[in-house]
Amino acid sequence: MCDFNNLSDEEKELHHKQLLSCANNFGGLNFFLQLLEAIRETKPHPLTNGHMSFDLELGSVSWNKVIYNDKLQLLLKARKNESKQENLLPQPNEKNYKKILNVVRTLKPIVFHVTPSNTEEAKGFFFQPFDIIDEKTTKLNPLFDAIFFCSVETVKKVLNYTPKA
């Protein structure tokens, strides 16, 4: 998702619709972008919060399992190679394969709930961190990537994308 320019037109349109739907379910584009900016500004990374939530005035993001910093760092390393190899998992013969596989197994069951403060106007949404294609292929869920890792400028580009007719 973060290298949006390298995606096919169909993938761009799919990510645009998915992200736009989530933004609307959080209360609109401005609220959604404010959420992303708050996540980017928070140090240490919000995913390592022991309370398993990230709260701000506009709403919250919560999840059901503690994520330790070592797992987050491994995920960030694996994420860099995902677009090159079309897979979050490295080749089975690579040195860090078991570590990355362990990160996927650890984080796969987590469900993230994004809830706006004003639940009368917006209903929120949920997502998981990975899309499991088959037993050897795993990809980062584009929503997870956009919300926690991609630059806000890239997310704006995705949200403002105009599908080709």
Model confidence pLDDT, tens digit, residues 91-106: 889 888 999 999 999 9
Residue 38 inside a domain? The answer is yes
Instruction: Check residue 80 and give its pLDDT.
Output: 86
Residue 1 inside a domain? The answer is no
The number of domains in the chain is 1
pTM equals 0.90
Instruction: Check residue 1 and give its pLDDT.
Output: 60
Q: What is the extent of the structural domain holding 121?
A: 7-158
**Nearest-angstrom CA–CA distance, 145 and 78:** 12
Instruction: Check residue 111 and give its pLDDT.
Output: 96
Residue ranges, the chain, pLDDT below 50 = none
Token look-up 């294609």 returns 133
**Nearest-angstrom CA–CA distance, 144 and 127:** 7
Residue 2 inside a domain? The answer is no
Residue 164 inside a domain? The answer is no
Instruction: Check residue 82 and give its pLDDT.
Output: 82
**Nearest-angstrom CA–CA distance, 148 and 107:** 14
Residue 97 inside a domain? The answer is yes
Instruction: Check residue 100 and give its pLDDT.
Output: 92
**Nearest-angstrom CA–CA distance, 125 and 154:** 21
Token look-up 């394969």 returns 97
Q: Is 25 left (phi over 0), alpha (psi -120 to 50) or beta?
A: alpha
